[in-house]
Amino acid sequence: MTTPSPSPPQPYYYKSPPPPSSSPPLPTYYKSPPPPSSSPRPPYYYKSPPPSSPSPPLPYYYKTPPPLSPSPLPLYYYKSPPPPSPSPPPPYYYKSSPSPPPPYYYKSPPPSLSPSLTYYYKSPPPPLLSPPPPYYYHSPPPPVKSPPPPYHYSSPPPPIKSPPPVYIYASSPPPIHY
């Protein structure tokens, strides 16, 4: 009497999901960032802004001064004055500066930018180190040491030492001895 040989198992069909296998999962699409994994993530598109990256920023146009960066700033146009730079300032004319000013006319003090820009201002340039102009006083100028003026006296001037007068006698003169 022989025993029947075991037959191979039949393939089953489940109504519930199949058991996990070692095959790679299918790519899924998330509304929020996907969970962290050790494999590189595919490029996702988020509703929120993407994470920051070390790529160089785009040239923006600001209403306020741009953030300080070690790279040279492009030529911006600001509504407010730009940030100071370590470059040498151009020769400007200031109201309170003793340096020789260029022929600029200022509306406001110029920002310290590269020396290639030219500003025009409405305020006058600062005074130069030159001799002072002649002044005109409401009161007379201070007295200068000069010789004293001639005096005019109401009384007669002091007597001057002169030889004694000649006396005339009423009596006869003294006899002369020869």
Query: Is the entire prediction scored with pTM above 0.75?
Result: no
Burial grade of 58 (CB within 10 A; 0-12, 13-18, 19 or more): exposed
Contact 123, 107 (CB under 8 A): yes
pLDDT at residue 155, as a whole number: 66
pLDDT at residue 90, as a whole number: 61
Residues 6+ apart with CB under 8 A from 104: 92, 93, 110, 118, 119, 120, 121, 125
pLDDT at residue 135, as a whole number: 57
Sign of CA dihedral 129, 134, 136, 142: positive
- pLDDT tens for each residue of the chain, 178 residues long: 566 666 776 665 555 666 666 666 665 555 555 566 666 656 555 455 555 556 666 655 555 555 665 666 555 555 555 566 666 656 555 455 455 555 555 555 555 555 555 555 556 666 666 666 665 545 666 667 776 666 655 666 666 777 776 666 566 667 777 6
- Cα 102-105-107 angle, rounded to 5 deg: 135
Sign of CA dihedral 97, 103, 108, 113: negative
